[in-house]
């Protein structure tokens, strides 16, 4: 039977300054101890440094040295003796990302309370963004991922914040494929409604679109109905609509940042190739799947060509692009807002409902209700500071992955 090893937890707190960590470990180096765990955080210039050490046979000298260091540095010192390696975490590791604008204490308290309700423990909290939203990552151990996700989804709705729960593991560092819907996700508004405005039927098309995105109508039938209303519109209008499109805030930042990390991107849309392919070229997107409008003598006929990219077609496209890129489906991220995105969100390793319809928010792994697409980067553990540092480094252009542009 193995005897638990005596340990000493050393905690220093107070005003931070350069050299604190070096001074502490220089003092420890004079004694026959091992470092088992280290945690350090600085908030508004206030330091909390925790170190778990093995306890020497005669700890009096070590204790005296630590008291001397704390006194010289003007820091508060806490010493706690125990048994075993407290650095060992229970199984069931997950990462909880909390987004708020603003993030209020009641929301943090509620999230922490639901985590405790499952018997899980918060091991570490790290702020990863302070604007335009506040985002924090919580490393949680001993959690039942499915149960925790269910509890926190309900709490997110009550507290009006966004929460993502993801299993921790090495897959977080793998190359990923990001598959995005276009209308009301990558861009603001619906392309077909802009086209319908030229045909004088925007109100009718908008009504059908809203019902289709809410899941009230069959997508293919509703799409054909709406496209029929566009008969006679000049093909040049497609270019005008593309030029008038406004990207969702944060869209360029998200693509630019994740491409630096070698991520692949795809646009999968129930919209139209003429516009989608141009958007892909604008953003250097690798893959696209969309519907093709029939054009005769420079005008839309009101009909579609080829296979329809509908709800099932989007999920099929995700799997096809993942296979082409050599990326496991478990390492894909799907982002969408409408009912025709549901299969795609379900198929992906992480499905993100972005400012989505209620039926989509209820089904997705996580929901983002904030109007900034680059908040998805926070769900991947990328901080705002890291994004800004990469953008500021002019000598570090984006790393472009090989493949279709």
Secondary structure (DSSP) of 8-49? EEEEEEEE--TTHHHHHHHHHTTSS--EEEEEEEEETTEEEE
The confidence score (pLDDT) of residue 146 equals 86
User: Do residues 294 and 300 touch, judged by C-beta distance below 8 A?
Assistant: yes
| Domain edges within the chain | 6-83, 94-168, 178-189+246-392
Beta-bridge partner residues of 6: 83
Q: Report pLDDT for 295.
A: 95
Catalytic residue from among 137, 183, 365, 374: 183
User: In the CATH scheme, what is the code of domain 6-83?
Assistant: 3.30.70.260
Catalytic site includes residue 183: yes
Q: How far apart are alpha carbons 405 and 399 in whole angstroms?
A: 13
Residue 394's pLDDT is 41
- Pairing type for strands 299-305 and 332-336 reads unpaired
Class of domain 94-168: alpha beta
CA dihedral 341, 212, 310, 320 (to 10 degrees): -10
Residue 345, helix vs strand vs coil? helix
> How does the average pLDDT of the chain come out, rounded?
89
Query: How many whole angstroms from its chain centre is CA 238?
Result: 32
In DSSP notation, 291-304 reads EEEEEETTEEEEEE
Catalytic residue among 16, 137, 162, 181: 181
pLDDT of residue 166: 87
Q: Which residues of the chain have pLDDT under 50?
A: 1, 86-87, 394-395, 397-405
Fold match, 6-83 / 94-168: yes
pLDDT at 83: 79
Give the model's pLDDT for residue 405.
Answer: 26
Looking at residue 399, its pLDDT comes to 46
At 169 the pLDDT is 72
User: Which one, of 281, 301, 256, 285, lies nearest residue 391 by Cα?
Assistant: 256
CATH topology of domain 178-189+246-392: Rossmann fold (3.40.50)
Name the pTM for this structure: 0.81
181 in catalytic set: yes
């Amino acid at each position: 039977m193995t005897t638990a090893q005596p340990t000493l937890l050393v905690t220093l707190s107070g005003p931070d300054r350069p050299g604190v960590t070096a001074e502490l470990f220089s003092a420890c180096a004079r004694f026959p101890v091992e470092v088992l765990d280290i945690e350090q955080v600085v908030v508004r210039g206030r330091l909390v440094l925790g170190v778990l050490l093995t306890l020497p046979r005669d700890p009096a000298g070590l204790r005296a040295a630590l008291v001397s260091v704390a006194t010289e540095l003007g820091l508060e010192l806490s010493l706690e003796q125990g048994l075993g390696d407290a650095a060992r975490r229970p199984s069931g590791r997950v990462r909880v990302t909390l987004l708020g604008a603003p993030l209020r204490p009641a929301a943090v308290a509620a999230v922490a309370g639901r985590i405790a309700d499952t018997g899980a423990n918060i091991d570490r909290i790290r702020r990863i963004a302070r604007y335009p939203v506040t985002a924090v990552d919580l490393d949680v151990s001993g959690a039942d991922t499915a149960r925790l996700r269910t509890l926190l989804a309900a709490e997110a709705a009550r507290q009006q914040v966004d929460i993502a729960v993801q299993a921790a593991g090495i897959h977080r560092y793998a190359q990923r494929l990001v598959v995005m819907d276009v209308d009301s996700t990558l861009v603001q508004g619906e392309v077909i409604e802009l086209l319908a405005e030229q045909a004088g039927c925007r109100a009718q098309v908008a009504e059908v679109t809203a019902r289709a995105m809410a899941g009230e109508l069959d997508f293919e039938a509703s799409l054909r109905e709406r496209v029929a209303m566009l008969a006679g519109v000049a093909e040049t209008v497609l270019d005008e609509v593309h030029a008038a499109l406004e990207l969702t805030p944060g869209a360029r930042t998200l693509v630019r940042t994740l491409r630096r990390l070698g991520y692949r991107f795809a646009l999968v849309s129930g919209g139209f190739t003429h516009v989608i392919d141009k958007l892909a070229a604008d953003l250097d997107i690798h893959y696209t799947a969309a519907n093709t409008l029939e054009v005769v003598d420079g005008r839309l006929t009101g009909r579609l060509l080829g296979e329809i990219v509908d709800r099932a077609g989007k999920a099929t496209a995700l799997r096809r692009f993942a296979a082409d890129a050599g990326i496991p489906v478990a390492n894909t991220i799907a982002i969408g807002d409408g009912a025709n995105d549901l299969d795609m969100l379900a198929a992906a390793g992480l499905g993100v409902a972005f400012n989505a319809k209620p039926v989509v928010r209820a089904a997705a792994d996580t929901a983002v209700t904030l109007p900034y697409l680059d908040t998805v980067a926070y769900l991947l553990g990328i901080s705002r500071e890291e994004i800004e540092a990469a953008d500021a480094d002019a000598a570090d252009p984006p790393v472009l992955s090989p493949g279709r542009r």
